[in-house]
């Protein structure tokens, strides 16, 4: 039992090393509806966890034991948080890369193409103007 409580306090697996402060968690124990006989029907073995800053929710009723379900619920929540943080990091990197590409200097060929397109657009606009405007000017 003590070993299980130590696991609960520090969740570190090869994929995840994340410590979630207790103040950020809302924990409830609910009656399970899984197989497990009288133990499941009489005791609240299902664990509900909510991470308050992000709003992520986990409900775990894998085992018949409440302590084991607490461990698995925290593990699942830690995995979800790790994925969320990884996604945010990738998004920030993509944004930085996008800004870097936008701000780099354009090559001479790119500048020439851009000016050529501008000239063609202005010629189109001039051709669209009415005839009497051209004669006055």
Identify the CA nearest to 70 among candidates 24, 27, 35, 18.
27
Please indicate, yes or no, whether residues 13 and 66 belong to a single structural domain of this protein.
yes
pLDDT digits (tens, 9 = 90+) for 32-72: 776 666 776 778 888 999 999 999 999 998 888 888 999 99
- 74, burial (CB in 10 Å: exposed 0-12, middle 13-18, buried 19+): buried
Please indicate, yes or no, whether residues 96 and 112 belong to a single structural domain of this protein.
no
Please indicate, yes or no, whether residues 7 and 70 belong to a single structural domain of this protein.
yes
Please indicate, yes or no, whether residues 70 and 16 belong to a single structural domain of this protein.
yes
Please indicate, yes or no, whether residues 114 and 58 belong to a single structural domain of this protein.
no
Round to whole Å and give the CA distance between 91 and 102: 17
Please indicate, yes or no, whether residues 62 and 116 belong to a single structural domain of this protein.
no
Which residues span the domain enclosing 49?
Answer: 2-100
H-run or E-run covering 77: helix 66-103
Please indicate, yes or no, whether residues 82 and 113 belong to a single structural domain of this protein.
no
pLDDT digits (tens, 9 = 90+) for 95-123: 999 999 989 988 999 999 999 999 999 99
| Domain count along the chain | 2
Please indicate, yes or no, whether residues 114 and 92 belong to a single structural domain of this protein.
no
User: What is the number of residues in the chain?
Assistant: 137
């Amino acid at each position: 039992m003590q070993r299980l409580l130590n696991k609960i306090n520090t969740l570190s697996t090869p994929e995840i090393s994340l410590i979630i402060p207790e103040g950020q968690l809302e924990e409830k124990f609910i009656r399970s509806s899984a197989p497990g006989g009288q133990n499941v029907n009489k005791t609240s073995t299902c664990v509900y966890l909510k991470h308050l800053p992000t709003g992520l929710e986990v409900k775990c009723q894998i085992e018949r034991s409440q302590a084991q379900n607490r461990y698995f619920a925290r593990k699942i929540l830690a995995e979800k948080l790790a994925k969320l943080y990884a996604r945010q990091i990738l998004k920030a990197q993509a944004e930085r890369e996008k800004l870097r590409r936008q701000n780099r200097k354009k090559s001479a060929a790119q500048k020439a193409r851009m000016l050529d397109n501008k000239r063609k657009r202005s010629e189109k606009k001039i051709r669209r103007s009415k005839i009497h405007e051209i004669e006055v000017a």
